[in-house]
Amino acid sequence: MNDIGPGDLVECVNDDFVGLFADETPPVKGEIYTIREIRPETALSHGIAFRLYEIKNPPHFPMYAECSFYECHFRPVRTTDISIFTEIAQDVKDGIHRKILEDA
């Protein structure tokens, strides 16, 4: 995932997480989360991992750190700006396009 960082939204697309402790909460497939932190994950060569605002887990041995979740379990959520289409629809409703065609 290029150009993704803290504050960005991601959707969990794979909730098959392994190695979690019983008291850790994993992300759920289909749910949207906000990236809180990005960490390099070099131990298993999985690239980067996320910590999420919506999930706060306790730190655990051996590093006494909160778990993070590999980026391959997520996809970025892209918001689409449809304001131009809303504006066109309003113009049509107001008859502006009809007037333009009549003047042509």
Q: Read off the pLDDT band of 26 (50, 70, 90).
A: very high
Structural fold of domain 9-79: SH3 type barrels. (2.30.30)
Paired with 48 in beta bridges are: 40
In the predicted model, what is the mean pLDDT of residues 14-41? 92
- In terms of pLDDT, which residue wins out, 12 or 87? 12
Instruction: Reply yes or no on whether the pLDDT at 14 is more than 90.
Output: yes
- Give Cβ neighbours of residue 38 (< 8 Å, ≥ 6 apart): 4, 5, 6, 48, 49, 50
pLDDT at position 33: 97
Name the pTM for this structure. 0.71
In the predicted model, what is the mean pLDDT of residues 43-63? 85
pLDDT at position 88: 80
